[in-house]
Amino acid sequence: MPIPSMPGVSRLAWRTGLLAAVDAARAQGVNSVVLFPKTPEALKTRTGEEAFNPDGLVQRAIRLLKAAHPDLEVYTDVALDPYNSDGHDGIVRDDGVILNDETVEFLCRQAVSQAEAGADCVSPSDMMDGRVGAIRGALDAAGFPHVGIMSYTAKYASAFYGPFRDALASAPRAGGGGRVIPPTKATYQQDPANWRESLREAAADEAEGADVLMVKPGLPYLDVIRLLRDSTALPIAAYHVSGEYAMLKAAAERGWLDERAAVLESLLCLKRAGADIILTYYATQAATWLNEDGFGVR
Ligand code: PBG
């Protein structure tokens, strides 16, 4: 199903749509994927238990992909927002406080259930404190010491996630019955004005056992990518997010930008700033262009 605010990107039907998209990616040399689920409203709850349903959409999708492509690198998202009826990454108390430690317990169960389904790397995007160490411990205890953790380390409370929240119907929503639901994620995601907090988050995630540190969004935060690249030996990932995709697409559709040149320049700049890994909705398209240009991604 097409996503109106992300022209060219669709929500994929389990099985046919997903397998076709992965086949197309692999044909161009893209061999890593991240899964994000659109959860039916009826399965959303205040605590998001669907996140660790062994037969949930993500768990089934991992098993399907690993059966079809054993050497595909499957990354997952660890956070409650696709499953949470309040639209937050953590559990919301009636007075609007996000319950950090209770959420972390649920995130551990979610990560273990994804590992059981066959995930190669789990990616906590929730920004709760202490979750990387807790997830590392839970994975090790459950027999998954080889499953990696790509932590959303410097994840900013950004307006550039709008199209993604449209796609998942996952934006924070007003509480009924006198409950207070914070309209933004600013109590757990970072302040866009603050770069020093990224250093503290990076030090904590590294000490807790993260394998990859991520900066998100990408282009507006190139300084943070460079900062983390220069302050850790861990690989740095940059997430070229939905709003960045939408801006490029909108301008290209109006003929205001040369899409191919602007996209490849954007990705190049993420790399120049220090990203070892780039997550982008343009991945298959960009690999196709690079292959046409003789760069041999395949
Ligand atoms: C939430 C999550 C978000 C994205 C990835 N995981 C949105 C948010 O924090 O509200 C955004 C990705 C994008 O915009 O492309 N756990």
Three-class HEC string of 161-221: HHHHHHHHCCCCCCCCCCCCCCCCCCCCCECCCCCHHHHHHHHHHHHHCCCEEEEECCHHH
| H or E segment and range at residue 149 | strand 148-155
In the residue annotation, 216 being an active-site residue is answered as yes
Chain segment 246-257, per-residue pLDDT in tens: 999 999 999 999
Distance, in Å, from the CA atom of 292 to the CA atom of 181, rounded to the nearest integer, reads 49
pLDDT band with cut points at 50, 70 and 90 for residue 114? very high
Rounded to the nearest angstrom, the distance between the alpha carbon of 229 and the centre of ligand 1 is 22
Distance, in Å, from the CA atom of 290 to the CA atom of 232, rounded to the nearest integer, reads 29
pLDDT band with cut points at 50, 70 and 90 for residue 54? very high
In the residue annotation, 271 being an active-site residue is answered as no
CB 103 within 8 A of CB 80: yes
Spell out which residues line ligand 1, taking CB within 6 angstroms: 77, 79, 81, 89, 125-126, 161, 164-165, 185, 241-242
Query: Looking at the predicted structure, is the pLDDT value of residue 262 above 80?
Result: yes
Whether the pTM exceeds 0.95: the reply is yes
**Ligand 1: which residue has its CA nearest to atom 8?**
161
pLDDT band with cut points at 50, 70 and 90 for residue 177? confident
Predicted local distance difference test score (pLDDT) of residue 174:
87
Tell me which of 35, 76, 89, 214 to substitute to probe ligand 1's pocket, judged by most ligand atoms within 8 Å of the beta carbon: 89
Chain segment 193-210, per-residue pLDDT in tens: 999 999 999 999 999 999
Q: Which of 44, 185, 216, 249 is catalytic?
A: 216
